[in-house]
Amino acid sequence: MKTIDIIKGIHPGKIVERELKKRNINQRQFALSLGAHPQTLGAIIKGNRRMNVDLSLKMEEKLELEEGFLMTLQVFYDIKEAKKDSTYKPDLSKLRKGTFWDTTFDKIDWKQNKVAVVKRVFSRGTEIEQEEIIRFYGKEEVDRIKLLKHQL
């Protein structure tokens, strides 16, 4: 299996971060050596900013990565993000943001974080919230997750 097949969908900033750590290169100094602002590189590494062609070519050269590798990762990441189903969510009017006090409510991935959501709602949620989660995920799935809770 090719490396790209294994890591596609990962933001290229994560790969850059890993390479810098592996080579013990200071992030700020690396950014300056590329003629880029350290804040720009920091935002890319955190996944808050897209990789651009000019910067990716400079990074690939300095880090001795295959030309186009980082931009290819960016495209696969963009595809993954575009495929996220933004309509897949419970009736949010029945859930209190306070139940999810330690996370950004509007950014919860209801599919990926299903186990955490069920555990949270059934440990801290109201009856209305619990009923909505059962409606949304289905009784069998919620019961299965609740059983996992007791096994941990």
Contact status, residue 118 vs residue 137, Cβ threshold 8 Å: yes
Predicted pLDDT at 148: 77
pLDDT of res. 86: 65
Asked whether the predicted pLDDT for residue 21 surpasses 70, the reply is yes
**Two structure tokens written together for 99:** 């139940």
| Mean pLDDT to the nearest integer, 24-30 | 97
pTM score, whole prediction: 0.58
On the question of pLDDT at 111 being above 90, the answer is: no
CA 143 to chain centre: 27
Distance CA 51, CA 12 (A): 7
Higher pLDDT: 29 or 78? It is 29
Decide: residue 95, CB within 10 A, 0-12 exposed, 13-18 middle, 19+ buried.
buried
Would you call 36 helix, strand, or coil by DSSP?
coil
The tokens of 36 are what? 């880029």
The total of other beta-carbon atoms located within 10 Å of residue 91's CB is: 10
